[in-house]
Amino acid sequence: METLIKHGSVLVSDLVTMLDVSAVTVRKDLTELEKGDKLYRSHGKAVLINPYINNRSVNVKEKLATDEKHAIGREAARLITRDDSIAIASGTTVHALARNIQPIHKLTVVTASLAVSNILSQHENIDIIQLGGVLRHSSLSVVGEYASDILDKCSFSKLFLGVDGIDMDFGITTTDMREATLNQKMMAAAQKTIVLADSSKFGRRGFAKIADIDAVDIIITDAGISPKMVSKIEDLGIELIIAQ
C-alpha cells in the first residue's frame, strides 16, 4: 500500500520482486485489499482508485469539488475575448464557467446545456443558441442528431468542454456514448478545445471516448493535480492552466 500510494499504480511482477513472494500470494493479497476498497485491480497491476466512472446526476455532481470548479470556471471565463463566439458543452464544471461570465461586449454562445442557457439568460448582450434534441435527465443537456445538425452550420473560436475522465493513454471520456458523439462534433466546429476538469478526473475513464488527449489545446484544472501528471501534459505540448 505504501508503494501504491507513492506511485499511484504498481505491477504484480514488481510486487513479486519487491516482496520476494510468489505471484499467487501477491494476487491473493491484492484481491483481499480490493474487497476492502483499498485499491482496484486491472490487467496485471493494482491502481489506487477505480479508474472507471459511473454516471451520476447533475445534482450529485454539483456538490463535489465546488470551490475547485468555481476557480476553474473563473480562469476559463478569462479566455473569452471581445465579440467572441464560443461553444459550451455540458457538465457541472461548465456551469461554473457560465456563472463567471460577465461580458462587457457582445458574446455568442452555442450550448448543449439547459443549465448554461438558464444561467446566461440574465445577460442581454449574450446571444444564446440552445441546441435541441433528446434530453439527458442526469446532466440536463441534449444529445442526438438534432443537436449535431446545427453544428454543421456553426464555427466558433473556442469549445469549453467538461469531461468525466482524463486518461493519458485512453484520452478524454464521458459516461454517455451520445454525449461523446456530440462533443466530437463540437470539437470539429471549434478552432480550439479547452477542457475544464477538476483534479479528481485525472487517471479516470468514462465509458465513451471523446478524443485522444492530443486533440486538446488547453486543460484548466485545480492545484490538486499531481506533478507527474503536470509533466505528462506539458510534454505533449498542451497548455495547462492551474486555477488557484
Q: E strands along 74-228, which residues?
A: 85-88, 107-111, 126-130, 134-136, 141-143, 156-162, 165-167, 171-174, 190-196, 208-211, 218-222
Asked whether the predicted pLDDT for residue 119 surpasses 80, the reply is yes
Integer Cα distance of 23 and 179 in angstroms = 41
- Going by pLDDT thresholds of 50, 70 and 90, the confidence category of residue 208 is very high
- Whether residue 60 is predicted with pLDDT greater than 60 in this model: the reply is no
| pLDDT tier for residue 103 given thresholds of 50, 70 and 90 | confident
- Residue where the block lists cell 477538476: 198
Predicted confidence (pLDDT) at residue 57 exceeds the cutoff of 60: no
- Of the options 3.90.1150.10, 1.10.10.10, 3.40.50.1360, 3.40.50.360, the CATH number for the domain spanning 58-243: 3.40.50.1360
pLDDT band at residue 2 using 50, 70 and 90 as cut-offs: confident
Mean pLDDT value across residues 50-67: 61
Strands 9-11 and 45-47: antiparallel
Q: What confidence tens digit (pLDDT) does each residue in 121-151 have?
A: 999 999 999 999 899 887 889 998 888 888 9
Cell numbers linked to 51? 479508474
CA angle 92, 213, 50 (to 5 degrees): 65
Nearest to 114 by CA among 153, 88, 93: 88
Q: Which of 43, 33, 35 is nearest to 2 (CA)?
A: 33
| Identity of the amino acid at 70 | H
- What are the sequence ranges of the domains in the chain? 2-47, 58-243
Average pLDDT over residues 79-88: 95
Higher pLDDT, 120 or 46: 120
Residue 58 pLDDT greater than 60, yes or no: no
pLDDT tens digits along 161-199: 999 999 998 999 998 999 999 999 999 999 999 999 999
Q: What is the pLDDT of residue 206?
A: 85
C-alpha–C-alpha distance, residues 124 and 107, integer Å: 10
CA–CA separation, 69 and 45 (whole Å): 32
Helix H or strand E encompassing 239: strand 239-243
State the average pLDDT for the chain: 89
**How many Å apart are CA 183 and CA 189, to the nearest integer?**
10
Q: Residue 62's pLDDT band (boundaries 50, 70, 90)?
A: low
Predicted model pTM: 0.77
